[in-house]
Structure 1
Amino acid sequence: MYTNILGFPRIGRHRELKKACENYWAGKIPESQLYEEGNQIRTSNWLLQKEWGIDLIPSNDFSFYDQVLDLTLSLGAIPQRYAFLLKNKTELYFAMARGYQKEGQDIIAMEMTKWFDTNYHYIVPEFVKDQSFSLSYNKALEEYEEAKALGVETKPVLIGPISYLLLGKEKEAEFDRLDLIDRLLPVYIRLLKELEDAGATWIQLDEPFLALDIDEKAKILYQKVYQSLKDACPKLKIILTTYFEGLRNNTELAVNLPTEALHIDLVRAPGQLDEVIRLFPASKVLSLGIVEGRNIWKNDFGHSLEVIRKATVALGEDRILIGASSSFLHVPYDLKTETDESRLTPEIKQWLAFAEQKVEELAVLKELAGGNPPDKTFRALEENRQAICRKETSALIHNGEVKARAKAVLEKDRHRKSPFAVRKRIQHSLLNQPLFPTTTIGSFPQTKEVRSWRAKYKKGELIREEYDRLLKGEIEKAIKWQEKIGLDVLVHGEFERNDMVEYFGEQLDGFTFTQNGWVQSYGSRCVKPPVIFGDVSRPAAMTVDWISYAQSLSSKPVKGMLTGPVTILQWSFVRNDQPRSETCKQIALAIRDEVLGLEKAGIKVIQIDEPAIREGLPLRKEDWKTYLDWAVAGFCISSGGVEDSTQIHTHMCYSEFNDIIEHIARMDADVITIECSRSQMELLNAFVEFKYPNEIGPGVYDIHSPRIPSVMEMVNLLKKAAKVIPPAQLWVNPDCGLKTRGWAETKESLIRMVEAARILRQEY
C-alpha cells in the first residue's frame, strides 16, 4: 500500500510566506528574496514528507497567493485589463489578485470567493466568449523539477480542466464556460505532456465538482476530456481526486473514467465506500481519504484500519492508497509548536493532530495495515486508542445545564416580536437616519502599535488598566473622526479584538486556543481558528463595556458588533462528537445573551455578522434545507429576543444569494450588508427578483484591495443599485471590515464614500 497526500500547508511553519509577501508588497524586500522564501517553504515541506516515507508527495500545491490564480496565469487566461503588465509576471500575478493602482493606472482585482464550503478564498477565473488559452509558463513542471533536484520524486497537483472551467465565471452573456473546453484541452495536454517528458509518473488532477450536482453536459465532457488526456499522455498515471463530499449519483461516471486511480473523501462521506467498491473496475487503484484534511482531531486508528481492511479484502492490497481526505491546506502546520499549556492544555492537546502529525498518522496506518509493524508502531496504536477513549469520557466536554437549555428552545424564541414593516417605522422614528445612511462593517485598521499593546498585555508586560486606557484612546479617536467625516452609524473599531471569531471564543466556555494554529484564508491573510471541544456557554458579558464606552462618546448610534453563531461554528475547528447543528444552537444562545446585554445597556443598533452562512451550505442541493433550517434558526435565536426598536444588522461575504434568498429573508435582519463591489453589484439581482423587503447595504468598494476608489466610481455603483433596489432601502458601506487595511487608504476611501452618499441624496 502507498500513502497519498493531496496537498500541504503553504504558509510555512511560522507564517514565513505571509511575512515575505507583505514585505515584498511594501517594497521592503526584492522579488528575488520573495522567491527564495517560497523555495525554502517548498523544500521544507517535501523533505518532511520524504522523511516520513510518504509515497506520493504533492508538488505544485504551493502558491504565493492562490492555486486557482496560479493555474489561470499558467493557462494564459489573463483578463485584458492586465495586458500592460504581461512583461512582469510577478507584478501581473499580484495585480490580478489585489488590484493595481500606481503610475496612472487604476485596475480592479479579479473577483474572489470561497473555495467550496471552506474558509479559504480563491481568485475566480474570468472567461469571455472568444477566450483564448496558451501555456504561458508551466509552474507544475518547474516545481516538479525543483523537487527532483532535491532527490524527491513528487506527484504534481493540478485542478482538472472541467473543475477549472466550473470554478470560473462568464463575463459576457449568452455563452457557457464549459463550451471553452475545446480551446482549453490542448493547453492542458501540452502542460501534462511536458510533465510526462520530464519523468513524472503520477499526477493528481483535482475534480471536486464530481462530488457536486452536475448536469448531463458536464458528465459527457468528463468522459471526452479524460479519454483525450489518456490518449495524449499514456505514460502518466492520473489520480482523479474528489473531496469535500461523496460521489453519489456521479459514482459510476467517476469510477469508469480512464484514469489509473480514483481518490474519494471517506471523512466527509464515509458511506460512499460500498458503492465505489461495488462498481470499481478491476484494473484501477482506490485512494482512501481517511485522515481528516479539514479538522484537527486525532485520527481513530481502529476505525481507519477497519476501512482499510474492508477495501483491501475487496480489491487487494496492491490496489489501495492510504490518503488524506483533502489537502492539508486547511489545517495548521505542526502541533509541536504549541508549548503554552495554559492556552492549550495537555488533556486537549492529546486529542489533536496538525498537518505534520497527520503525515505521521498516514505513515503509522501504512505500517499497521501492511502486516508485521515494528513495536513502536504497536505502541502508537495503543496510545491512539487510549487518547480516543479519554476524549469520549472527558468531563471537560459535557455540561448538563447547557444541553438542557438548548433542548428547551421554543419556536417563539426564533422570532422578533413584530414584522419588519412595524419595526422599521419605530426604528426610523427613533434613529432619524437619512436617505442612503452611511456606516462601516465594524473593524478599523489594527496598527502595529495596537497589536503590540495586545501582545504586551498577553505577556504580562502591560497591566489591564493601562491596556484598557490605550484602547479607549483609540476608540475615542475613531469615534471623533467618524463624526467629523459625517458617517451616520458609527463603530468603535474593534481595537480590542484579535479576530472576529477568536475574540468571542476566548470568552466562551467550551473553546480553547492555539499559539500557532494558523491557516491561510486568502493571500497573506492567515487566521487562527478556535477549537470547540465541548458544550458552549457565555459566563460573562463580552462586548458590553467597550460598546457602552464608545456610545458614551457620541450622540450618534454606535453599533454593537458581534459575530453570529454560524460563522463562529464555520470558522472554528468544531468538535466531531455531536451534530454541528447542536453546537450551533449552543453558540446562538450564548450570543443571544450578549445581544440582550447590549440592548439593556442602551445600544440601539446591533450587528450580528454571518459572513459564513453561504459558505456552510452543503455541496449537494438535496442537503440544503436541513442545513438552512438550523443555520437560520441559529441566527434568529441570537437576535430574536430584542425589542422592535433595536435595529439588527447582519453582514455576509462572497455570497451568491439567488438560490437561498428566501432563507436569507427568513433571518429577518433589519439591515443586511453584502459584498458587491468586485461583482459590480451583480449580487443584488437575487434581492430584486425575490423583492427582498428589508434594508440592504451593498458594498461600494473592495476592502481586499489596497486601491482607493474614486467618488464617482462609488456613485455609479450606488446608481446601479438604486435602479434595482428602492433608494429608501439602500445603505452605503464598504464591502467588509477594514482591519487589514492601512489608515491612510481607509480614511480617504471613507471620506469619498460619505461624499458619494451626499451626492446621491441630492439626486433622489
Structure 2
Amino acid sequence: MKIIGGSIVTNVKSSNLGYPRIGEQREWKRELEKFWGGDITEEELLQNTKSVRLAGLRKQQERGIDLIPVGDFSLYDHVLDTSVMFGVIPKRFQEDCSRTPLETYFAIARGMENAVASEMTKWFNTNYHYIVPEFNESKPALKENRPLACYKEAKEELGIEGKPVILGPITFIKLGKGYEKEEFPRLVKELLPLYIQVLQELKAAGVTWVQLDEPIFSTKLSESELYQTKHVYETIAEEVPEIDIIIQTYFESISSYEEIVNLPAAAVGLDFVHGDSLELLRQYGFPNDKILAAGIIDGRNVWRQNLNDQLELLESVSQIVDKERLIVQPSCSLLHVPVTTTTEITLDPVIKDALSFADEKLDEIAILVNGLKNGKERITTKIEESINAIEKLNNSKYREQVHQSDSSKLNVDRDLPFKERIAIQKERLRLPLLPTTTIGSLPQTTEVRTQRLNWRRGDITDLEYEHYIKKEIEKWINIQEDIGLDVLVHGEFERTDMVEYFGEKLNGFLVTKSGWVQSYGSRCVKPPIIFGDVSFNKPMTVKESVYAQSLTEKKVKGMLTGPVTILNWSFVRDDISRFDVLDEIAAALRKEIEELERNGVKIIQVDEPALREGLPLKEEKWQEYLDRAVHAFRLATASVDNSTQIHTHMCYSNFQDIFEAISALDADVISIETSRSHGELISAFEENTYEKEIGLGVYDIHSPRVPSIDEIRSNINRALKTIPFNQFWINPDCGLKTRQEAETIAALKNMVEAAKETRESLLAVQTN
C-alpha cells in the first residue's frame, strides 16, 4: 500500500472472466451461418471472426481492465473447444480423414450424414448450452494449445498480456459422460499431464496469470472427488510453480469451502452475487497467502448496480482480506448478458440509464477499483449517478407499487384426476395409436424474417403483414396434412422467439433492439427485461391459432411458453422475489389459456424447457424452487375444462432430478428430448412410474441431417420398451424453427412413416 498525494493507493486489480462472443450486431453469428451455408471459406470465417474477437479484447483494454481474459472466445462452445483441444473426439467423427479439424469440430456439435451429434445440455443453471464431452471412446491427447495461440494473438495484435481462460480439469470431467464413477481417477490421471503441458507452454511464452474455471465447485463433490481435486492442484503447483493460477468458481458459493480455498493456487475466485460467499468468508476466513478474486458485479442480470452498496460490500470483504490481495471482477463470464446499451437508441432514457450490459459492467468494475484504490470520494459522482438511475426507475411510471398477486385466490387443481379426464379427452379428440405431432415452431425462412423486419420498420402495413403470416400458416397446415401428422401446429411464424414474443405482449416487460445473448451454437436470443408488475393485456396467440384451426379438420395445438421458462429466460427485476414475479406471469398466462379455450382450441401446449435449468445448484434449495415452479404451472393451466388437453415440453436436462415435479405439473401430455442424448433420458422412466402421456423426441432437430425411417423406428421401439404404447406420442425432440424447409419435410415424412409402421405392428400383435 502506498500514500500518494494524501490518497490511499493499493495494488487492487480489475479483472474480467469472459466477454460476449457474438459482437455488437451478432457479426459472429452471421459469419458462422455463412460458412455452414457454403458462402464463405474456412479461411474467411477465421479471419472475420478474428475481427470480432479482437474488438472485444480492445474494449476491455480501453476500459483499463488489468486481467483481460483470452481463450474465452469460441466458434461454438468453450466445452467443445476443451474436448477438441484434448482429443476427446468420438470415434464416429474420426473416420473421415478428408474433413479439416474445423469441419470435425462443427460435425461434433451439429452432426453429419452418418453420425449423430454429441449431446447438448444446459451449462449449470443458465440458458447457455454446451456440448457434452464423450470420454468412453478415445484416450485424451493434446492436439493443440489453444490458450497459447489466443494469448499470442492478443499480445501481438493489441499488446495485451492476457489471462488465458481454461475449463478446469475437475469441471471438464464432471460435465462429461461415458464413464463410471469409479473411473474418475483414471480420467484425472490421463488429463492432468495434458493440462500441465498446456500450462508449461504458457509459462514458457511469458504468461503470468491463468484462470482455471471450476464452477463445479459450487455443487457438492464426493470425498473421492475432493481427494482427486487436491491431487490435481497440488500436482499443478508442483509442476508449474511460476504461473499464478486463479481457481475460478461462479453461479453460487462453493460447497466445500475450506477444502477449495486452501488448494495450492495464487488466487480463488468467489461469486459474491449468488449464494452466501460473504458469510462463508466471515465464518471460515481466507488464506493469508492467497488473492481473493471477488465477483461483485452481477454477470447474469442487466440492471445497473448501486455502486455505493457494492463498494460497501467490497469494504466488508476487505475487513477479512486486505485490499492488497483483492481482485474486483464480475460474478461470472459476461457471456450471459448483451454486449452494450449504446445501441439501444429507442429505449426510454429512464430505463436505459438503469441498465448495464457487458461493456457497462466493465465500467462499473473500473469505477469500484478506482474507489478502492483512491478512496470513496474519488467516485462520489459515479455512485450518485448509479443511485439516481435506480431511484428514477423505481419512482417512475415503470415501477408501480409492488403488489401481491391475487393468485392465492385461484385454484391450482384440475376438476378431475388425470385417469378420468384422459378418457374424456380421448373420446373427444379421437386420435390414433401413437399420435404424431411437432413441438410447435416450423421453419422460419429468410423470407419470413425479412417480412417481419419490413413490418417492424413500417415498410409494410399491419394488414399486409397479417396477410403474409396467414399465407405461411395456410401453407404449412397443408404441408402437415400432406405429411400425415395427427395433431398440427400453426407454426409460430409471427414469433421472433418463444419468450421475447410474450415479452412484447405482456404488461411489465420490454424488449431491446440489440440485447442478444448466445444460447447454443449460432443461436442467439433476446431475453426480455421485466421492469414492472406483470399482467395480461390482451389475447396474444388466439388469432393465429383460431385461423389455423379453421383450415383443417385435424386438431391444432395452441402454443404458449410457460411461466417458469418466461421467468428464467428473462432478465428479471431484482428488487422483489422472483417467485412473486413467477406467479404474476402464471396468472397472466392463465387468462390467455382461457381465451384459447373459449375460442375452441382444445389442445394447448405450455412449454417449460427451462424448468430443470432453473434448479438451484445447492440441493437444499431444490424443493422450494420445484414447489413454486409446479404451483405456477398449475396456476396457469388448472382452469381449463376436463376435455381440454394440456401439453408441455422440456428439453436437454437431467430429468431424474425433477421427475416427481414433472408428474406434479399434472400436464396431460409431456414431450421430452431424448434423441440428442441417445435415449439415455429413458432411464428416468425405467426407474419411475409415470401414468400420464408422453412423447420422447425421436429425432434431433439441431442437426441438419435427415434421419432415416429405420433410425426413427429404432428410437420409437427403444422408448416403447419402457413407455406403454397407449401413453406414447411421437414427435421431434424440439421446435423446428431453425431448420430448412426441405430437410424438415423429409424428416417429418420419415417420422410419420416410422410411426405408421410401428402402429401397424402393434395393431397386428393385438389382433393376433
- TM tier, smaller: over 0.9
Q: Counterparts of 1:257 and 1:94 in 2: how far apart (Å)?
A: 36
* Match status 1:325 vs 2:331: yes
2:246 aligned to which of 220, 232, 239: 239
2:188 aligned to which of 181, 185, 189: 181
Q: Specify the SS of the correspondent of 1:185.
A: helix
Q: Specify the SS of the correspondent of 2:729.
A: coil
2:655 aligned to which of 638, 648, 657: 657
Q: CA deviation at 1:85?
A: 4.2
Deviation digits for residues 318-367 of structure 1, max 9, x if unmatched?
A: 10111110000000001001111xxx211111110010111111111111
CA contact (8 A) 2:271 2:332 kept: yes
Q: Specify the SS of the correspondent of 1:490.
A: strand
Q: Specify the SS of the correspondent of 1:520.
A: strand
Q: Specify the SS of the correspondent of 1:194.
A: helix
1:381 aligned to which of 380, 383, 396: 383
Q: CA deviation at 1:100?
A: 1.3
Q: CA deviation at 1:143?
A: 0.3
Query: Under a length normalisation based on structure 1, what TM-score does the superposition of the two structures give?
Result: 0.96
What pairs with 1:512-591 in structure 2 (closer than 5 Å)?
Answer: 512-591=510-589
Q: Counterparts of 2:441 and 2:232 in 1: how far apart (Å)?
A: 47
CA contact (8 A) 1:12 1:333 kept: yes
Aligned residue in 2 for 1:84: 95
What pairs with 1:23-62 in structure 2 (closer than 5 Å)?
Answer: 23-62=34-73
2:110 aligned to which of 92, 98, 109: 98
* Match status 1:409 vs 2:389: no
2:232 aligned to which of 221, 225, 235: 225
Q: CA deviation at 1:312?
A: 2.1
Q: Specify the SS of the correspondent of 1:8.
A: coil
CA contact (8 A) 1:251 1:276 kept: no
Aligned residue in 2 for 1:260: 266
CA contact (8 A) 1:109 1:705 kept: yes
Q: Specify the SS of the correspondent of 1:559.
A: strand
Q: Counterparts of 1:173 and 1:586 in 2: how far apart (Å)?
A: 43
Deviation digits for residues 199-244 of structure 1, max 9, x if unmatched?
A: 1000000111111111111111111100000111010000010000
Deviation digits for residues 637-687 of structure 1, max 9, x if unmatched?
A: 111000110000000011211121111100011100010001222112212
CA contact (8 A) 2:436 2:752 kept: yes
Amino acid at match of 1:268: H
Deviation digits for residues 260-293 of structure 1, max 9, x if unmatched?
A: 0011001112453553674311111001101111
Q: Specify the SS of the correspondent of 1:326.
A: coil
Q: CA deviation at 1:408?
A: 4.7
Q: Counterparts of 1:486 and 1:284 in 2: how far apart (Å)?
A: 65
Aligned residue in 1 for 2:703: 705
Q: CA deviation at 1:373?
A: 7.3
Q: Counterparts of 1:756 and 1:324 in 2: how far apart (Å)?
A: 50
1:73 aligned to which of 84, 96, 105: 84
Amino acid at match of 1:161: P
Q: Counterparts of 2:341 and 2:260 in 1: how far apart (Å)?
A: 36
Aligned residue in 2 for 1:2: 13
Q: CA deviation at 1:379?
A: 2.0
Moved more, 111-120 or 298-307: 298-307
1:125 aligned to which of 126, 133, 137: 133
Q: CA deviation at 1:165?
A: 0.1
* Match status 1:143 vs 2:150: yes
Q: CA deviation at 1:378?
A: 3.2
CA contact (8 A) 1:332 1:518 kept: yes
Q: CA deviation at 1:394?
A: 3.2
Q: Counterparts of 2:185 and 2:629 in 1: how far apart (Å)?
A: 33
CA contact (8 A) 1:58 1:155 kept: yes
Aligned residue in 1 for 2:210: 203
CA contact (8 A) 2:674 2:696 kept: yes
What pairs with 1:591-610 in structure 2 (closer than 5 Å)?
Answer: 591-610=589-608
Q: Counterparts of 2:216 and 2:282 in 1: how far apart (Å)?
A: 17
Q: CA deviation at 1:418?
A: 0.6
Moved more, 270-279 or 12-21: 270-279
Q: Specify the SS of the correspondent of 2:655.
A: coil
Amino acid at match of 1:272: L
Q: Counterparts of 2:432 and 2:557 in 1: how far apart (Å)?
A: 17
CA contact (8 A) 1:247 1:272 kept: no
Residues 118, 262 of structure 1: alpha-carbon distance in 2 compared, 3 angstrom cutoff: same
Aligned residue in 1 for 2:9: none
Residues 565, 713 of structure 1: alpha-carbon distance in 2 compared, 3 angstrom cutoff: same
Q: CA deviation at 1:84?
A: 2.4
Aligned residue in 1 for 2:6: none
Q: CA deviation at 1:12?
A: 1.0
Q: CA deviation at 1:407?
A: 3.8
Aligned residue in 2 for 1:391: 393
CA contact (8 A) 2:171 2:216 kept: yes
Query: Under a length normalisation based on structure 2, what TM-score does the superposition of the two structures give?
Result: 0.96
Amino acid at match of 1:263: G
CA contact (8 A) 2:90 2:138 kept: no
2:299 aligned to which of 293, 304, 307: 293
Deviation digits for residues 392-423 of structure 1, max 9, x if unmatched?
A: 333422256xx35x24524x611111111011
Q: Specify the SS of the correspondent of 2:726.
A: helix
**RMSD over aligned Cα, in angstroms?**
1.4
Q: Counterparts of 2:184 and 2:620 in 1: how far apart (Å)?
A: 25
CA contact (8 A) 2:407 2:583 kept: no
Aligned residue in 2 for 1:345: 348
Q: Counterparts of 1:58 and 1:279 in 2: how far apart (Å)?
A: 28
Aligned residue in 2 for 1:111: 119
Q: Specify the SS of the correspondent of 1:516.
A: coil
Moved more, 599-608 or 268-277: 268-277
Q: Name structure 1 gaps, 5 residues minimum.
A: none
Q: Name structure 2 gaps, 5 residues minimum.
A: 1-11, 763-768
Q: Counterparts of 2:573 and 2:181 in 1: how far apart (Å)?
A: 45
Aligned residue in 1 for 2:731: 733
Amino acid at match of 1:213: K
Give the number of aligned pairs.
Answer: 749
CA contact (8 A) 1:531 1:574 kept: yes
Q: CA deviation at 1:446?
A: 0.6
Deviation digits for residues 1-37 of structure 1, max 9, x if unmatched?
A: 1001000001111111100000001110011111012
Q: Counterparts of 2:240 and 2:674 in 1: how far apart (Å)?
A: 43
CA contact (8 A) 2:669 2:695 kept: yes
* Match status 1:311 vs 2:317: yes
Q: CA deviation at 1:539?
A: 1.1
Q: Specify the SS of the correspondent of 1:283.
A: coil
Q: Counterparts of 1:660 and 1:385 in 2: how far apart (Å)?
A: 40
Q: Specify the SS of the correspondent of 1:367.
A: helix
Aligned residue in 2 for 1:744: 742
Amino acid at match of 1:371: N
Amino acid at match of 1:45: G
CA contact (8 A) 2:336 2:518 kept: yes
CA contact (8 A) 2:166 2:213 kept: yes
Q: Specify the SS of the correspondent of 2:328.
A: strand
Amino acid at match of 1:96: I
Q: CA deviation at 1:169?
A: 0.8
Q: Specify the SS of the correspondent of 1:533.
A: strand
Q: Specify the SS of the correspondent of 2:356.
A: coil
